[in-house]
């Protein structure tokens, strides 16, 4: 926790609601901003015990892009992750193949770090480890962290009053980093457009007969998508997105039946698979806030957008939101502008919204034509995947996307 408790009479430049990976990273970037560090309050209702050592085992993992790695380095969180044993698992290859192609066949697509002149394509990391490392970076930089739930807000001309059970706090700007069911978004009246994919993602850790080869494997199976993400322990983390009824049946199946179905769905790419953990599931929705900002309020991460997890982009997009908003606020601070002014916040919205929408739409199309497929259009898309797979030139822009290095990047995410 913060060394000095937050004082209700203090006026903060920014209050961030939600100390998930995105909110905590934004806080750490803002407090570290030079020459003008901002006074930042971070509210999190379910604070993990930060005194506990970081645990490598987590059912919910992320594939962090190169851009995210850079943002986390500047935020001061990367060194904590790198110092913890077995927490960061680099992956050197990504192999994607559709239903009717065999893995490693002509119809598949492989990205190889060596071919791109990179040491790896990214890192697999657990949600818990990432949250703790980013919260620790925020506190270390002098931010004020409070275990509190936001209940209500009053928007005034000069600031926002945040109502929590731990007291009332005032800030010039409130940022909603409070996830898909954002209370900030709701109270601020920012609205939401949601589409239910009618799917569940099953997550679990598995042991495999053959080594994972530091490769992220992804199969579009015709009934959904299965990703096998390599962990430092030698196990793999699965994200298996399926229609709800099918997923529920698999969640209820005995472990050996589940493992047998999973091995079939993976086309045996790693040999026989065996459950090494409990199974958890997440309902899948696409969510977008039509507006990310209003006077004295901005949304970042899942509070602004939730995308299909089939390409593992959610937290990566959120970290780019955090970096972009921090850059906009830093520049505004240098010009003496009010961080809560709508004209300042709109710069952030214009920057990030189109990029996030583009990714969400691309993932919708992958889900529609590759994960399920079956029609003529899908066969064309599958053939297209094979064509891209056979050409180093065509693979390059897709690889840049996967590394998170495409589009207009915030300064801290660019190549050093
Ligand atoms: C199955 C699955 C697999 C995924 N895999 C990947 C992947 O490989 N790569 C990737 O990039 N993304 C992935 N994602 C997406 C990723 O999980 C999210 O994008 C990411 O967790 C969003 O982070 P966030 O900080 O915005 O929100 P969250 O992590 O949801 O954090 C929000 C925080 O706000 C707090 N909060 C909420 N309300 C309040 C309140 N009123 N007051 C105070 N605090 C509050 C919550 O306690 C929480 O800590 C996956 C998602 C799913 C479902």
Q: Token pair 């015709």 is at which residue? A: 222
Nearest ligand 1 atom, CA 184:
41
Alpha-carbon distances of 344 from 221, 252, 318, 371, rounded to whole Å: 45, 50, 19, 40
Tens-level pLDDT at each residue, the chain (416 residues): 444 455 557 899 999 999 999 999 999 999 998 777 899 999 999 999 888 878 777 889 999 999 999 999 999 999 999 998 889 999 999 998 988 788 888 878 888 998 888 999 999 999 999 999 999 999 999 999 999 999 999 999 999 999 999 999 999 999 999 999 999 999 999 999 999 999 999 999 999 999 999 999 999 888 899 999 999 999 999 999 999 999 999 999 999 999 999 999 999 999 999 999 999 999 999 999 999 999 999 999 999 999 999 888 899 999 999 999 999 999 999 899 999 999 999 999 999 999 999 988 888 887 777 777 777 777 777 777 777 777 777 777 777 777 888 889 999 999 76
Tell me how far apart the alpha carbons of residues 391 and 386 are, in angstroms, rounded to a whole number: 9
Q: How far is the CA of 23 from the centre of ligand 1 (A)?
A: 10
- Phi, then psi, of 216 in degrees rounded to 5: -90, 120
Tell me how far apart the alpha carbons of residues 112 and 339 are, in angstroms, rounded to a whole number: 42
Residue 132 Cβ contacting ligand 1 at under 6 Å: no
298 with 175: CB under 8 angstroms? yes
Q: How far is the CA of 367 from the centre of ligand 1 (A)?
A: 21
| Backbone φ/ψ region at 312: left (φ over 0), alpha (ψ -120 to 50), beta | left
Residue 31: partners with Cβ closer than 8 Å, 6 or more residues away:
37, 38, 40, 138, 141, 142, 143
Residue 315 Cβ contacting ligand 1 at under 6 Å: yes
Q: What's the CATH superfamily of 11-194+286-413?
A: FAD/NAD(P)-binding domain (3.50.50.60)
């Amino acid at each position: 926790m913060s060394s000095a408790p937050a004082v209700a009479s203090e006026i903060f430049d920014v209050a961030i609601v939600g100390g998930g990976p995105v909110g905590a990273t934004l806080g750490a970037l803002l407090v570290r901003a030079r020459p003008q560090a901002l006074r930042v309050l971070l509210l999190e209702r379910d604070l993990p015990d930060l005194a506990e050592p970081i645990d490598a085992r987590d059912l919910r993992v992320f594939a962090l892009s190169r851009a995210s790695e850079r943002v986390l380095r500047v935020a001061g969180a990367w060194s904590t992750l790198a110092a913890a044993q077995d927490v960061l698992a680099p992956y050197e290859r990504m192999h994607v193949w559709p239903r009717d192609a065999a893995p490693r066949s002509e119809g598949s697509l492989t990205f190889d770090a060596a071919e791109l002149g990179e040491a790896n394509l990214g890192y697999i990391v657990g949600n818990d480890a990432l949250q703790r490392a980013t919260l620790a970076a925020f506190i270390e930089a002098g931010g004020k962290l409070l275990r509190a739930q936001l209940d209500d807000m009053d928007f005034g001309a000069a600031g926002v009053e945040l109502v929590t059970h731990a007291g009332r706090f005032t800030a010039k700007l409130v940022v909603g980093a409070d996830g898909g069911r954002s209370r900030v978004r709701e109270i601020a009246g920012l609205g939401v457009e949601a589409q239910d994919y009618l799917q569940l993602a099953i997550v679990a850790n598995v042991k495999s007969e053959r080594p994972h080869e530091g490769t992220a494997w992804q199969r579009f199976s015709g009934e959904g998508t299965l990703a096998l993400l390599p962990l430092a322990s030698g196990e793999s983390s699965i994200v298996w997105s399926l229609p709800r009824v099918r997923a529920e049946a698999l969640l209820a199946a005995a472990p050996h039946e589940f493992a047998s179905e999973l091995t079939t769905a993976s086309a045996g790419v790693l040999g026989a698979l065996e459950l090494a953990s409990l199974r958890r599931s997440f309902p899948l929705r696409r969510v977008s806030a039509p507006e990310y900002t209003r006077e004295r309020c901005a949304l970042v991460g899942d509070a602004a957008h939730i995308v299909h997890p089939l390409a593992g982009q959610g937290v990566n997009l959120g970290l780019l939101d955090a970096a972009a908003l921090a850059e906009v606020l830093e520049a505004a601070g240098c010009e003496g502008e009010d961080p809560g002014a709508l004209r300042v916040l709109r710069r952030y919205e214009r920057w990030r919204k189109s990029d996030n929408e583009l990714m969400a739409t691309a993932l919708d199309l992958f889900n529609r034509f590759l994960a399920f497929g079956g029609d003529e259009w899908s066969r064309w898309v599958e053939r297209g995947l094979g064509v891209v797979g056979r050409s180093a030139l065509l693979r390059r822009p897709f690889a840049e996307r996967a590394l998170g290095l495409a589009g207009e990047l915030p300064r801290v995410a660019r190549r050093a």
